[in-house]
Amino acid sequence: MKIVNSLKSLKKRDKNCRIVRRRGRAFIINKVNPRYKARQG
């Protein structure tokens, strides 16, 4: 899982990416290709 400043850019990488907010953190989750997992905050 990558920790990044901008999740906006990561969301564009794959059409299955979803932004989810948990415990004050923003995550990118991709069920189809877990390689794109990322966290912010």
Mean pLDDT of the chain: 89
**What is the pLDDT, as a whole number, of residue 27?**
94
Structure-block tokens of residue 28: 């990118």
The domain containing residue 14 runs over which residues? 2-40
pLDDT at residue number 7:
84
Whole-number Å distance between alpha carbons of 22 and 10: 18
Percentage of the chain surpassing pLDDT 70? Answer: 100
Measured CA to CA, the distance from residue 13 to residue 3 in angstroms comes to 15
The residue-averaged pLDDT of 6-27 equals 89
Number of folded domains that form the chain: 1
> According to the model, what pLDDT value does residue 26 have?
93
Whether residue 4 is predicted with pLDDT greater than 90 in this model: the reply is no
Q: What pTM was estimated for this model as a whole? A: 0.76
